[in-house]
A and B are shown apart, each in its own frame.
Chain A
Amino acid sequence: MLVLRGVLAVAMILCGLAILARMLMTVAAGFAVLPGIVLAAAMIALGAHRISLILRARRPV
């Protein structure tokens, strides 16, 4: 189960990075890309948060 959660978290980070890259490519559109950048940042943050929880759960007491 932890492995599956880990895969989902990594997938979320990758999706976030893909959106971020796509937004940065169209940065010429100006203000319009801002919500997309925040969306990407939130996805990366959630993925990282999930991975940190998984790592904490796997750490021996």
Chain B
Amino acid sequence: MSAAKSKSPEPELRRTVTPWGSFAWGYSDVGADIFVGLGLVLAWAAGASNVAFLFAGVVYVCIGLAYTELASTYPVAGGGQYFVMRGLGDLFGFIAGWAVLLDFTIDVTLFSWSSVDYTSQLLPALVNSIHPWLHFIVVLGLVLGLCLLNMMGVRESTAFNGFVSALDVLSETLILCLGFLFAFRPELLIHTMQFSWPAPYQLMLGTSLAIVSFVGLESISQAAQETQRPASIIPRTSVALILTILIFALAYSNLALGLHPWHPITGPNGHPMQFWQIFPHNADNQGKAVALLAEQVPYYGAFAALYVPVLGAVLLLISSNSGVFGSSRIAYAMSTANLLPALFQRVHARYRTPVISIVFFSSIAVIELIFAALPALFPSASALYSRFFHGENGLEFLADLYAFGAATSYSFVFLGLIALRLRDPLSPRKFKIPLNIPMRVAGERVDFPVIAVIGFIGIFSILLFTLRTHALGRIFGPTWLVLGVILYLLYRHHRRLPLLRSQRRHWRTDQIDILRRAGELELMDEYIANLKASDARRAKQT
């Protein structure tokens, strides 16, 4: 990270991503989340699903704004881990990055799993509850296949991402417009909210699962480092991305609660059911909620039933691939910052890809898959899970850990943002989160971000909900963090680096280099002028 290192002739990423490409990159990652999150939230939060999405959505808007400001100010590889390391120091940077890595590995398994669930809508042989071994083998095949493709450096192109994203935005808009026009009953929504309001425990669980629909904002910072003039482009595309995802999540949850199904739905005893009632205690349905909802839109549903499962499966697979790719990239960035062993920087001689990172984190994804699939594969394991973990199914297990990793890393990102506003007020911020309190710290004028405090309280409460309500998440999530910290301390001890304190870094020269590489020359000049003015002020004072 030092200036000397950054001037070495290392190959760097080409900055060729356009504004639409930047939007599509984020959308193909975060946009897929609603395909997984909707069914899980409907299953637990029932008549308060839209409120759960509202709460998580407000927190998500705060997170999105934080990432937009940070990614446009520091457009570098590493994302949340880099921001936290720069704001709070090496140890916290490691913890944030390690939590993001947990999320990326879960992302690989959860989205491959859900991709197969969507496919099972057209190929019933893949239904998990009927053929668990076939389901397991196909998911495992997808995870290993993605690992292999990433090792060979094959990745979907930005153009393909853009095409799938455009198709999905169009499709979801159509489903929602036609659904609200022909199948939505406002009085049914109000009735459902009044008479199917969940118990506080279930609402907490549903809200913590709703955050699953908004995970993947790391992609904003990943796009930032490959976008020309990111300080100008990223805020434009991120605001559109944040609002689009929020609109879809709120619209889907309201529609699902007030939907009058096209084809009557009946329960096992023949009684008519509301649409949302098909999700509790049915993991197969939870995994393909958007496809089931699209089917129930009058007339259009007949067509949607054919293509929505395919579109969902493709989008989820792209998102799953971003997990393999993202984990290796974050591990690489952490390794160059001396937070992880240099092993994770090792690049394949022929394919020029970080093979060890890819294999290591894909292996963790496989272990998570085995844990998730065990109850369905072996009845004895199912009894064990019922006894100790409230009988969570595979999808819930993965969502638990996903929520834990996201809430942990996002909590640190908010703290990192506050710290950077206080410790680095001289870096020009072309986009700044609104609602700030001006104050002076160490002779410099700083803007204290109120939204970051609100966002931190929101995401921290979601983290507490996760720990309170997720039996598996509260064991495996903290275990992952503790193991990571032990690995970090051992590595730092081995390298004779400070264990709890941070390594000495040259942030000023780094920042100039970052802005120069990003093509933000005006901002670079502004930053240098700010530094000179600040130094002159200090010299005058002394």
Interface residues of A (CB under 8 A from B): 22, 26, 29, 31-32, 34-36, 38-39, 42-43, 45-46, 49-50, 53
Contact = CB atoms under 8 A, between A and B. Distances in A.
Interface string B182-195: 00001001100110
A36 B246 CA distance: 12
B77 to A, nearest CB: 27
A53 B236 CA distance: 8
Contacts of A26: 186, 190
B57 interface: yes
Given A32-B193, A39-B254, 8 more contacts: A29-B190, A32-B190, A35-B51, A35-B250, A35-B253, A45-B243, A46-B244, A50-B240
B175 to A, nearest CB: 15
Contact of A22 (B186, B240, B246, B251): B186
A46 B250 contact: no
A49 B189 CA distance: 29
27 contacts: A22-B186, A29-B190, A31-B193, A32-B190, A32-B193, A32-B194, A34-B54, A35-B50, A35-B51, A35-B250, A35-B253, A36-B254, A38-B57, A38-B250, A39-B247, A39-B250, A39-B251, A39-B254, A42-B247, A43-B247, A45-B243, A46-B240, A46-B243, A46-B244, A46-B247, A49-B239, A53-B236
Nearest to B52: A35
Contacts of B190: 26, 29, 32
B194 A38 contact: no
B414 interface: no
Q: Looking at chain B's contact residues, is the secondary structure mostly helix, strand, loop, or mixed?
A: helix
A30 to B, nearest CB: 9
Interface string B180-223: 00000010011001100000000000000000000000000000
A10 B247 CA distance: 16
Interface string B437-459: 00000000000000000000000
Interface string B419-442: 000000000000000000000000
A44 to B, nearest CB: 10
Contacts of A32: 189-190, 193-194
A42 B243 contact: yes
Q: Looking at chain A's contact residues, is the secondary structure mostly helix, strand, loop, or mixed?
A: helix
A34 B243 CA distance: 17
Contacts of B194: 32
Nearest to A45: B243
Interface of B: 50-51, 53-54, 57-58, 186, 189-190, 193-194, 236, 239-240, 243-244, 246-247, 250-251, 253-254
A42 B57 CA distance: 11
Nearest to B61: A42
A9 to B, nearest CB: 10
A38 B54 contact: yes
A20 to B, nearest CB: 13
B237 to A, nearest CB: 10
What 6 pairs across the A-B complex have the smallest Cβ distances? A35-B50, A46-B243, A39-B250, A32-B193, A35-B54, A29-B190
Contacts of A35: 50-51, 53-54, 250, 253-254
A39 to B, nearest CB: 4
Nearest to A35: B50
A31 B251 CA distance: 16
Nearest to A19: B180
B340 to A, nearest CB: 38
Contacts of B240: 46, 49-50
Nearest to B57: A38
Nearest to A46: B243
Nearest to A39: B250
A59 B132 CA distance: 59
Nearest to A36: B254
Contacts of B250: 35, 38-39, 42
A52 B203 CA distance: 38
B49 to A, nearest CB: 9
**Which residue of B58, B186, B194 has the most chain A CB atoms within 10 A of its CB atom?**
B186
Contacts of B54: 34-35, 38
A29 B51 CA distance: 14
A3 to B, nearest CB: 17
Contacts of A50: 240
Contacts of A36: 254
A13 to B, nearest CB: 12
Contacts of A46: 240, 243-244, 247
Contacts of B57: 38
